[in-house]
Amino acid sequence: MLKNSEKFMQNAIDIAKIGIQNNQTPFGAVIVKDGEIITSSHNQVWSTTDITAHAEVTAIREACKKLNSVDLSGCVIYSTCEPCPMCFSAIHWAKIDKIFYGATIEDAKKAGFNELEISNKTMKKLGKSKLKIKKRVLQKECKELFNIWGAQENKKIY
């Protein structure tokens, strides 16, 4: 039986798969509050022509709208991949309590993605952030997204 954290990570994997089917890069994120999903987003950089539309940033924007607040205290975010420094910082600004992530920035790099190789651990330490981080939740399944994406004929990297 899946733990709650694995269940929500599976939701993030599912939305990432929908993104892949729609020619987006293989990243998904889900924001949860009080055990309920608030938003669920895949990367939308290509579909919206917006280089900032990573899965996490998109999920945060939508959660702000949905909760009518720029303060997402009490929320947690599930991301199929360790958030990049842009997304980590956005999560910090949003006052989200905790990040659960699956694959690591290193896994994404190995799969061919350009990366700003600054880990969440380093960002947290340098920025003196109180964000809690739980890594490698369903890591294998999250890494598999890179293979599914890699097998697509029309895949585009940026």
User: Residues interacting with a copy of itself, by CB under 8 A?
Assistant: 45-46, 49-52, 57, 60-61, 64-65, 68-72, 84-86, 88-90, 92-94, 116-118, 122-123, 126-129, 158
User: C-beta of 90: minimal distance to a copy of itself in Å?
Assistant: 5
Nearer to a copy of itself, 13 or 105 (CB): 105
Nearer to a copy of itself, 124 or 136 (CB): 124
User: C-beta of 4: minimal distance to a copy of itself in Å?
Assistant: 25
Tell me if residue 56 is catalytic.
Answer: yes
- Spatial separation of the C-alpha atoms in residues 29 and 56, rounded to whole Å: 5
Contacts with 32 (C-beta within 8 Å, 6 or more apart), sequence order: 8, 38, 75, 76, 77, 78
Residue for token digits 């303060």? 71
Say which of 6, 36, 56, 115 is annotated catalytic: 56
Q: How would you class 11 by CB atoms within 10 Å of its CB: exposed for 0-12, middle for 13-18, buried for 19 or more?
A: middle
User: C-beta of 2: minimal distance to a copy of itself in Å?
Assistant: 30
Nearer to a copy of itself, 10 or 54 (CB): 54
User: C-beta of 32: minimal distance to a copy of itself in Å?
Assistant: 17
53-76 in b/e form (b: 16+ CB < 10 A) is bbbbbbbbbebbeebeeeebeebb
- Spatial separation of the C-alpha atoms in residues 6 and 2, rounded to whole Å: 6
Residue for token digits 């799969």? 111
Nearer to a copy of itself, 73 or 147 (CB): 73
Give catalytic residues, as residue numbers. Answer: 56
